Amino acid sequence: MGGVKFEQAMARLEAIVGELEKGDLPLDESLRIFEEGIRLSKSCLKILEDAERKVEVLVQDKNGKKRLHAFSPDDQADDPTS
């Protein structure tokens, strides 16, 4: 799931910044995690920017079939529970 990936990526990125800012890694190791950090940053930004707003309604009909349809104000009017 994107959310988990994002969360892990952010956590890793935080750890990387912490490591880099502590500054006690050898240069090649620093460069390695720096590159990893930049990759993570890019993929996080992509996750943030690629998403689009979507509101859906999930229902199961009498036959047990699941249906997912876009939510619209009409749903509220149609709501059998109202």
Partner 1 sequence: MPAKTLQTASGSARQVLTVSELTSLVRTSIESTFPDLWLEGEISNLRMPGSGHVYCTLKDESSQIRAVLFRSNALRVRFTLQEGMQVIVRGRLTVYEPRGEYQIVLDAVEPKGIGALQLAFEQLKERLAAEGLFDQSRKKPLPAFPRTVGVVTSLTGAAIRDILTVLQRRWPTLHIIIAPVQVQGAGAGRQIADALSLLNEQGAVEVIIVGRGGGSQEDLWCFNEEVVARAIAGSRTPVVSAVGHEIDVTLADFAADYRAPTPSAAAEMVIPVFEEVRERLLDLTTRTGQAMVRHCLFEYQRIDSCNRGLAYIRFRIQEESQRTDEMTDRLQTMVQLRLAAARDLVRDGQRELTGLNPILMVKQGLAMMPQVMKRLERQMAVFINHQQRRVEAAIAQLNNLSPLAILGRGYSILSRARDGTILRRAEDVQTGEEIVARLSHGQLSCTVKRALPDPSV
The residues that touch partner 1, with contacts defined as CB under 8 A, are: 1-4, 6-7, 10, 13-14, 16-17, 20-21, 23, 25, 27, 30-31, 34, 37-38, 41, 44-45, 47-48, 51-60, 66, 68, 71, 75-76, 79, 81-82
**Phi and psi of 76, rounded to 5°?**
-65, -35
Q: Work out how close the CB of 63 gets to partner 1 at its nearest, in angstroms, rounded to a whole number.
A: 14
Q: Give the number of other CB atoms < 10 A from CB of residue 16.
A: 20
The backbone torsions φ and ψ at residue 67, rounded to the nearest 5 degrees and listed phi first, read: -130, 140
When the beta carbons of 1 and 63 are compared against partner 1, the nearer one is 1
Q: Residue 62 carries which DSSP code?
A: T
